[in-house]
């Protein structure tokens, strides 16, 4: 049954197209941003297109001393310069408008340095504009309330309230797969909350993050509140261990998160660490609709998506039908150049990653798995792949693949599918297909994940929702207003009152003096 997906014939890029891509990125003013200005002196780290190795630009190789300078500068700014909530909201609103105006340029930068097709990059830019608008609107979350002291033995003679205050300086560490919107999901809430931010974008896709910093400055975000440092010996450790960094917001893998936590010590850490997402297709589901959603959810961004569909459990009565539809849909996908609008699946972020995916699939085959479609690599490209008969111990089942591979398994009892879906160290999201709302809610209640999507796969994120998972999938929640709460802290003001009789005497005396 194995067959290859459609592979676009390679078309050499013209000199004009190469020059255009480079020119689109060359307008960046520097390769790092700290102490309120762009740095250019050590712009020696090359950024290349993973598809063909074309040199796109370069960024600075920074040092721990640069990190200390950047953090100290933000700390001074936070102590010395106020930035009113209204001004913060208006700056983020302007940033959303500016991003919409510059959407073409940002999409081209994303597609050039990442794995995304131009269509996927354009979608990310639109989402980022919405994330900025939601961040501006989250100013309404920065409210407090009066404290119910009268209902406490110790509070009978006190009144008080709390307000929300910024935590201080936030380290935002972001991955390559969503180089714009995931940056906005950290910087937007951090800035509306009144914090300063040190951004460390992925060294694989830094140009998008630096362009975003430039956009925020143009929108009116004070330069003293921002820094961006990409890479260099000791830079990551310097950022997470700096005593003036108050919160670390990290998106990446569990092993890196463990190292961050060990190095950072007693700091607040928010982490989104990926998923090994399952979808359950029940006996009464619409097989064709489920299959179409599985194909879309498994192979977007070449499977390099924390919400990507990785494991699919289908009731035996629909298994052959769903498998046939998924294989047909996968075979119809076009693998090719990112800037070709007929392309559905582009390259992985590097040839090394494509080789890793290839090795995992070969391991699954050795253990007895069957390749229904795909299963071939060419450079950084790996064909969208559908596997069956995959044993539970195979890496493509037990770990996050982060590549264009989906495994489809039959089940008889729903309880077995739930158990299999939960049998993972991750717990980010899951999908359930069924026509029965009662069954859907019963399954959702039993799945140990951060979100369950009914009649869709796990590959759904609405930027306003609380986003995160259980187990190895992370700590805390993103989603704009939820991140704002994580990135601010309640601060209480408490007033001790005089004894009631004393208060009354003072008020009476004051009133009599005023009357006379």
Residue of 140, 162, 166 whose CA lies nearest to 78: 166
Could you tell me how far CA 278 lies from the centroid of its own chain? Answer: 19
User: Tokens for 131?
Assistant: 């994330």
> Where do runs of H (alpha helix) occur along 150-194?
181-192
Q: Is the dihedral of CA 173, 178, 182, 188 positive or negative?
A: positive
Choice among 39, 93, 122, 272 that is catalytic:
272
Question: Is 51 designated active site?
Answer: no
Report angle CA 391, 394, 397 to the nearest 5 degrees. 85
Pairing mode, strands 451-454 and 429-433: parallel
Rounded to an integer, what distance in angstroms lies between the CA atom of residue 168 and that of residue 198? 11
Residues 6+ apart with CB under 8 A from 477: 270, 450, 466, 467, 468, 483, 486
User: Tokens for 483?
Assistant: 């991140």
Rounded to an integer, what distance in angstroms lies between the CA atom of residue 93 and that of residue 102? 14
Question: Is 306 designated active site?
Answer: yes
- Whether 363 and 190 have beta carbons less than 8 Å apart is answered as no
Residue of 62, 93, 389, 326 whose CA lies nearest to 201: 62
Q: How many CA atoms lie within 13 A of 61 on its CB side?
A: 6
- Whether 60 and 43 have beta carbons less than 8 Å apart is answered as yes
Helices 206-219 & 85-101 angle (0-180, nearest 10): 120
* DSSP character string of 364-433: HHHTT-EEEE---EETTEE--EEEES--TTSHHHHS---SSEEEEEEESSHHHHHHHHH-SSEESEEEEE
Q: How many CA atoms lie within 13 A of 298 on its CB side?
A: 27
Distance between first and last Cα of the chain: 102
Rounded to an integer, what distance in angstroms lies between the CA atom of residue 140 and that of residue 484? 10
Choice among 60, 93, 306, 325 that is catalytic:
306
Question: How far lies 43's CA from each of 46, 180, 229, 230, in Å?
Answer: 8, 21, 12, 11
Residue of 439, 203, 151, 175 whose CA lies nearest to 305: 175
Position of tokens 């539970």?
392
Report angle CA 347, 338, 402 to the nearest 5 degrees. 30
> Any long-range contacts for 502-507 (C-beta under 8 Å, 24+ apart)?
none
Rounded to an integer, what distance in angstroms lies between the CA atom of residue 341 and that of residue 118? 7
Which residues are part of the catalytic machinery?
272, 306
């Amino acid at each position: 049954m194995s067959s290859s997906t459609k592979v676009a014939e390679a078309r050499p890029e013209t000199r004009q197209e190469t020059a255009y891509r480079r020119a689109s990125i060359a307008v960046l003013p520097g390769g790092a941003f700290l102490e309120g200005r762009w740095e250019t002196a050590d712009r020696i780290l090359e950024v290349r297109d993973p598809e063909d190795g074309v040199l796109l630009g370069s960024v600075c190789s920074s040092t721990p001393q640069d990190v200390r300078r950047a953090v100290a500068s933000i700390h001074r700014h936070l102590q010395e310069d106020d930035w009113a909530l209204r001004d913060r909201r208006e700056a983020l609103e302007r940033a959303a408008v500016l991003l919409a105006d510059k959407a073409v340029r940002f999409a081209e930068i994303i597609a050039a340095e990442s794995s995304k097709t131009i269509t996927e990059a354009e979608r990310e830019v639109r989402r980022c504009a919405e994330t900025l608008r939601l961040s501006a609107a989250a100013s309404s979350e920065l409210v407090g309330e009066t404290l119910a002291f009268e209902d406490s033995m110790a509070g009978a003679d006190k009144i008080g309230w709390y307000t929300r205050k910024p935590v201080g300086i936030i380290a935002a560490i972001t991955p390559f797969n969503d180089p714009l919107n995931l940056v906005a999901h950290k910087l937007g809430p951090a800035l509306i909350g009144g914090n300063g931010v040190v951004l460390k974008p992925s060294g694989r896709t830094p140009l998008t993050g630096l362009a975003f910093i430039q956009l925020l400055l143009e929108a009116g975000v004070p330069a003293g509140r921002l820094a961006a440092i990409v890479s260099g010996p000791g830079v990551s450790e310097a950022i997470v261990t700096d005593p003036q960094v108050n919160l670390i917001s990290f998106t990446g893998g569990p092993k890196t998160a463990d190292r961050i936590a060990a190095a950072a010590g007693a700091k607040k850490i928010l982490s989104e660490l990926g998923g090994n997402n399952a979808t359950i297709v029940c006996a009464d589901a619409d097989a064709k609709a489920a299959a179409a959603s599985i194909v879309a959810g498994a192979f977007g961004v070449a499977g390099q998506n924390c919400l990507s569909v990785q494991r699919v459990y289908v009731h035996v009565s629909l298994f052959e039908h769903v498998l046939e539809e998924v294989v047909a849909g996968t075979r119809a996908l076009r693998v090719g150049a990112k800037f070709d609008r007929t392309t559905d699946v582009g390259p992985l972020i590097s040839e090394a990653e494509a080789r890793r995916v290839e090795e995992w699939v070969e391991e699954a085959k050795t253990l007895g798995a069957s390749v229904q479609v795909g299963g071939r690599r060419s450079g950084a490209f790996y064909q969208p792949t559908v596997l069956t008969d995959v044993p539970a111990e195979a890496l493509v089942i037990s770990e996050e693949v982060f590549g264009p591979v989906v495994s489809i398994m039959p089940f008889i009892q729903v309880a077995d599918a739930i158990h299999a879906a939960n049998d993972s160290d991750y717990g980010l999201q899951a999908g359930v297909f069924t026509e029965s709302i009662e069954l859907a809610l019963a399954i959702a209640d039993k799945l140990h994940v951060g979100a369950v999507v009914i009649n869709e796969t796990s590959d759904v994120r609405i930027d306003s929702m609380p986003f995160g998972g259980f187990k190895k999938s992370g700590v805390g929640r993103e989603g704009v207003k939820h991140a704002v709460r994580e990135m601010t802290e309640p601060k209480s003001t408490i007033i001790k009152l005089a004894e009631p009789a004393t208060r009354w005497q003072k008020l009476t005396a004051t009133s009599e003096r005023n009357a006379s």
